Amino acid sequence: MCRSVLFALLGLSLGLVCGFPSPLEEVEDGGKHWVLIVAGSNGWYNYRHQADACHAYQIVHRNGIPDEQIVVMMYDDLANNKMNPTPGIVINRPNGTDVYKGVPKDYTGEDVTPDNFLAVLKGDAAAVKGGSGKVLQSGPNDHVFVYFTDHGAPGILAFPSDDLNVKDLQDAIKYMHSNKKYKEMVFYIEACESGSMMSDLPSDVDVYATTAANAHESSYACYYDEKRDTYLGDWYSVNWMEDSDATLAHMKVVAFQGQSKGGAAAAPLALPPVLNPDLIPGPDVPLAILKRKMMASNDIRVARKLLLEIENHYKVREKMADTMNLVVQRVTGNSFKAQEVLNEKVELTQHQCYQSALTHFKNTCFNWHKAEFEYALRHLYALVNLCERGYSTDSIQQAMDSVCDPKGFVPQPY
């Protein structure tokens, strides 16, 4: 018997088969399938997240779950983006088919928020702001499937302009469990350090989870497309989705992803193998795209401009690392202790301290919701370590105030 909370990186098939109820059990209990799909990013260089989300919709839709029971949240700035060489079409693998057509636009643009996500998940229509107003109306016999894809850091998942923290997510799950909002619920989370979002979940709430990484690792992008100059997918996500496309009929996960009408699983799709997945850690994607574009350019002026962008990117990274180093030194009082803090990775338990510290860092030093500062997410573990060592929120915030430029760091133009 598998544990109620199941974590896996890429060994998904084994975990899903041993952990989830059978389709027959789902039919007999009279319940429904409810699905919440979220892509939390925007921008062309983050193409892969919304492509993942669109593909996930096609899987559950193809397997018979009606749109009335599916909620999709995504910024929706890809299909008609000026950088899209195939207007109106989004793909999730090399030479892939369109995964955008038919996707519901329940919450798009600035309506893709943590508050709306939590309201939709809990079925709280009154708390929703903007969008279609659709929420999960699940009950005690229902199966709920939640798929989230975007950037992350210890204890948070990023949305376009805000963050979802682990405490709010787990409080929502506990609320749903105590109010009988599901029979069983599954989370697939594609984000760096995504394991931190489920590590403290109680074992008796009938929630299963797989994540793209543990609490200390990056997730991986894949499938670089030279025609689009971006990555088409995320490795964890395309693994479970392409596996679902090809073998869904043989996997018990259909209890959550649905079955095609008539009771039989949808016919498997024949997917040609991708020989080179072009794996790259998620945080390195913007830099990798710039390097690939420069190497592919035959125009010396374009290549020089891209080189300047690359140099500037490295300067911003260096500035963020130096800033966090100085903040930690100010808090700890000496460089030796600072290096200890910067070199360790510990589990997050001091949620209030950490949430206050990361919010202040975002507002005072580097707002990672701006594309040029996205890499700041990689330094938040230092704030976890400071809080876990017992340093006060006031001392951490004062250090930030003394180190960070109140006018903000401005990258050099190119």
Which residues does the annotation mark as catalytic?
A: 151, 192
Distance CA 324, CA 365 (A): 9
Distance CA 147, CA 77 (A): 19
* 3-class state of residue 37 by DSSP: strand
Q: Which residues pair with 39 in a beta bridge?
A: 149
Q: How many helices (H) and strands (E) does the chain have?
A: 13, 11
Pairing of strands 220-225, 163-165: unpaired
Distance CA 135, CA 72 (A): 10
Q: Of 244, 183, 222, which is closest to residue 61 (Cα–Cα)? A: 244
Distance CA 305, CA 141 (A): 58
**If you search the block for the tokens 């998940």, which residue do you land on?**
121
